[in-house]
Structures are given as C-alpha cells and as structure tokens.
C-alpha cells in the first residue's frame, strides 16, 4: 500500500515512517509539512492512503482533505488527531478513519488494514463540527490539482454550470456554484451581478458606460466586471468606504 504522511512536525513524520517501514506490503511514497504541500504531493504521487494531521498552520488537514478528494482517484484519508473524546466520536460516527496521537503501532496497522476512501458527504458532516475555513480554491487541471489562495482571487463569474475564478496569474474553471461560494466567502466578496462575486479588497472604483451600465474596476486586472442595476447603490456605498 502506497502511503503519504502529512504533519507539520518532522519528528511526527519520521516516527510514522519508521512504523510503516516495519509493515509488510506498505511503503511511504511522499511526505508533506502542511495542507498546501499535501494536495500537491498527493496529486503527483497518487498514494492509496494519506495519514493526515488535522491541526497545521495555514491550510489544516480537513481543508486539505476536501481538496484531495477532487483527485481523479482520491486516496483514503486517515486523520491523526489529539482531539477530545467527543470530537473523536464524531469522526467515528462518520466512518472516517482516525488515529489518536501519539499514534500506537498496533492502532496504525489496524487503521491501514480497514482504510476506506473519504467522500464529500463525510467531509461535509465533519465540517459541522468545524465550520469550513477554506484558504484555497482548488480545480482539477491537466497539471493535477491546482490551488489558488482565496486572498488572490479577484472575482468569481458564473457561465452556465461552471464558475471562472479570476486570480492574479490568470484564471481557472471550477465546478461550484456562486451561491455556495457566496455562503462561504460572503464577508469578503460582494454580489455585484447575478453571475458575479467580486473581492472587495481589490475594488479600485466604478465606471459608467455610454449606455448607462456600471462596471467595477479591479486592481491588477485589465477587464472590468458588470454591475446589475439592483446592486449599484450597494457597491457605491462599499467603494465610498474603502
């Protein structure tokens, strides 16, 4: 079994690796020290199982798992946690693999033996224990899983059933809805049109076209975004307070 280890502590990764070396038919094919690295390494190395620390700086293990399930053939995820008993029960109820820290060799072997793929429904249920706090947007591309920091997103724009994510270095297409994105990031993005959410921090001003339409100008982006009539007053107020 091909295994990947994710933990922000090198000693913890080394300890798990030594345990796995003692098991037959198991090998460590990759390591990562944070969630962002985990998604990139998993996309490249295609492990069958990921041993995932939950609490890591930046992108935590729960968010990393949400991105990893977007891989074409996603691995099973076994969370490593020092949570209190009630939180561990929540993991158990959702049938997501978990190991209590410090991890014991016999428990690790048993967890690997019954590892199952984590699915989106299970992760959504776990999110009820910890509200989603995505730091990145992910999309499956020819390069694998591409991650874009939410802080770098200029706007989200819907086109039929897909959404374009415009960021500092270009754009990607994601299979999410504007409604879902607005619910998650509504404090940071403004609904300016039925098909667009704009990052408030990048707004530099408004322009009015000869036909009466208003558009938003954004820092470091050449194109503008249309504002619907119903949103003009709200956007003006926000821009005035920037």
What is the per-residue pLDDT across 7-34, written as a single tens digit (0 to 9) for each? 999 999 999 999 999 998 899 999 999 9
Q: How many domains does the chain have?
A: 2
Q: Which residues pair with 27 in a beta bridge?
A: 2
Q: Check residue 94 and give its pLDDT.
A: 43
Q: Check residue 138 and give its pLDDT.
A: 93
Domain boundary among 78, 97, 127: 127
Instruction: Output the CA torsion 6→7→11→12 (10° steps).
Output: -80
Find the mean pLDDT for residues 140-162.
91
Reported as a pLDDT band with limits 50, 70 and 90, residue 35 is very high
Instruction: Output the CA torsion 35→40→46→52 (10° steps).
Output: -10
Reported as a pLDDT band with limits 50, 70 and 90, residue 219 is very high
Burial (0-12, 13-18, 19+ Cβ within 10 Å), 106: exposed
Residue 32 within any structural domain of the chain? yes
Q: Check residue 113 and give its pLDDT.
A: 84
What are the start-end ranges of the E strands in the chain?
Answer: 2-6, 27-32, 49-53, 76-81, 97-100, 136-141, 144-149, 153-159, 162-167, 170-174, 189-193, 196-199, 203-208, 214-218, 225-227
Residue 207: pLDDT over 80: yes
Highest mean pLDDT among 58-67, 129-138, 146-155, 209-218: 146-155
Q: Check residue 133 and give its pLDDT.
A: 67
pTM value? Answer: 0.76
Ranking 127-141, 207-221, 223-237 by mean pLDDT, the lowest is 127-141
Boundaries of domain holding 181: 148-241
Residue 171: pLDDT over 50: yes
Q: Which helix (H) or strand (E) holds 202?
A: none
Q: Check residue 89 and give its pLDDT.
A: 53
Domain boundary among 96, 127, 158: 127
Q: Are residues 8 and 120 located together in one domain of the fold?
A: yes
Q: Are residues 6 and 122 located together in one domain of the fold?
A: yes
Q: Are residues 121 and 152 located together in one domain of the fold?
A: no
Q: Which residues pair with 216 in a beta bridge?
A: 206, 225
What is the per-residue pLDDT across 88-143, written as a single tens digit (0 to 9) for each? 554 554 435 788 889 999 999 988 888 765 555 556 655 555 555 689 999 988 87
Percentage of the chain lying above the pLDDT 70 cut: 86
Distance of CA 46 to the CA centre of its chain: 18
Burial (0-12, 13-18, 19+ Cβ within 10 Å), 112: buried
């Amino acid at each position: 079994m091909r295994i990947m280890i994710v933990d922000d502590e090198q000693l913890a990764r080394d300890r798990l690796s030594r345990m796995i070396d003692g098991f037959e038919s198991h090998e460590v094919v990759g390591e990562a020290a944070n969630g962002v690295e985990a998604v990139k390494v998993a996309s490249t190395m295609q492990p069958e199982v990921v041993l995932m620390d939950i609490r890591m700086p930046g992108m935590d293990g729960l968010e990393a798992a949400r991105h990893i399930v977007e891989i074409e053939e996603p691995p099973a995820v076994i969370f490593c946690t020092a949570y209190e008993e009630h939180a561990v029960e929540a993991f158990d109820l959702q049938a997501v693999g978990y190991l209590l820290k410090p991890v014991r060799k016999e428990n690790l072997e048993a967890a690997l033996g019954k590892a199952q793929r984590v699915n989106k429904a299970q992760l959504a249920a776990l999110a009820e224990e910890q509200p989603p706090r995505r730091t990145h947007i992910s999309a499956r591309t020819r390069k694998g899983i591409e991650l874009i920091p939410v802080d770098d997103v200029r706007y989200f724009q819907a086109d039929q059933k897909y959404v374009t994510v415009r960021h500092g270095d270009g754009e990607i297409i994601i299979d999410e809805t504007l409604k879902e994105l607005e619910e998650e990031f509504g404090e940071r993005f403004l609904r300016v049109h039925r098909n667009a959410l704009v990052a408030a921090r990048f707004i530099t001003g408004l322009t009015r076209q000869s036909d009466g339409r208003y558009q938003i100008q954004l820092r470091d982006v050449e194109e503008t975004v249309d504002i619907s009539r119903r949103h003009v007053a709200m956007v003006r107020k926000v821009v005035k307070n920037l």
